[in-house]
């Protein structure tokens, strides 16, 4: 059963990576040198983890859709950050370009994920005492 789940997860990660034009991640391979990991534990739970300097820094645990979202959210952010760095020059805040491009990338993959990303970023920004930055997020209902 786990092999079937791993094969399905790998196929989905490969599909998302191709859509985002980023390298895929080998499901189940734990890389400990500043790298992301996707795996299924012995209890069948899905993990999206990040190791930094040989130590676990982040380990998100959820369902299949969650781990696919975390992969897509992370790598769409990386792609969008590069886009925003190259596209600057019109005087707009880099974060506005970044978050708009990330929203577009995620929307193409799954509109629900795009909304979730905006909602989560909005909550984080408000929690960090940066409500003015919320206005830089895409103007969608999830922004709040």
Domain ranges of the chain: 2-63, 67-143
143 has pLDDT over 60: yes
61 against 51, higher pLDDT: 61
Under the banding of pLDDT at 50, 70 and 90, the label for residue 99 is very high
Tokens of 22: 């980023």
Burial label, 98 (beta-carbon count in 10 A; 0-12, 13-18, 19+): buried
pLDDT of residue 33: 76
- What is d(CA 115, CA 91) in angstroms, rounded to the nearest whole number? 26
- What is d(CA 52, CA 81) in angstroms, rounded to the nearest whole number? 20
pLDDT of residue 72: 99
């Amino acid at each position: 059963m786990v092999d079937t789940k791993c094969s399905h997860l790998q196929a989905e990660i490969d599909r998302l990576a191709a859509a985002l034009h980023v390298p895929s991640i080998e499901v189940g391979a734990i890389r400990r040198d500043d790298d992301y990991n996707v795996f299924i534990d012995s209890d069948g739970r899905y993990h999206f983890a990040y190791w930094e300097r040989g130590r676990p820094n982040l380990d998100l645990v959820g369902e299949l859709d969650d781990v696919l979202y975390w992969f897509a959210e992370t790598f769409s952010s990386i792609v969008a950050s590069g886009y925003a760095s190259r596209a600057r020059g019109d005087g707009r805040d880099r974060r506005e370009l970044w978050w708009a491009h990330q929203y577009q990338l995620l929307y193409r993959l799954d509109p629900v994920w795009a909304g979730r990303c905006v909602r989560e970023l909005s909550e984080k920004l408000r929690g960090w005492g940066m409500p003015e930055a919320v206005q830089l997020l895409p103007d969608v209902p999830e922004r709040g």
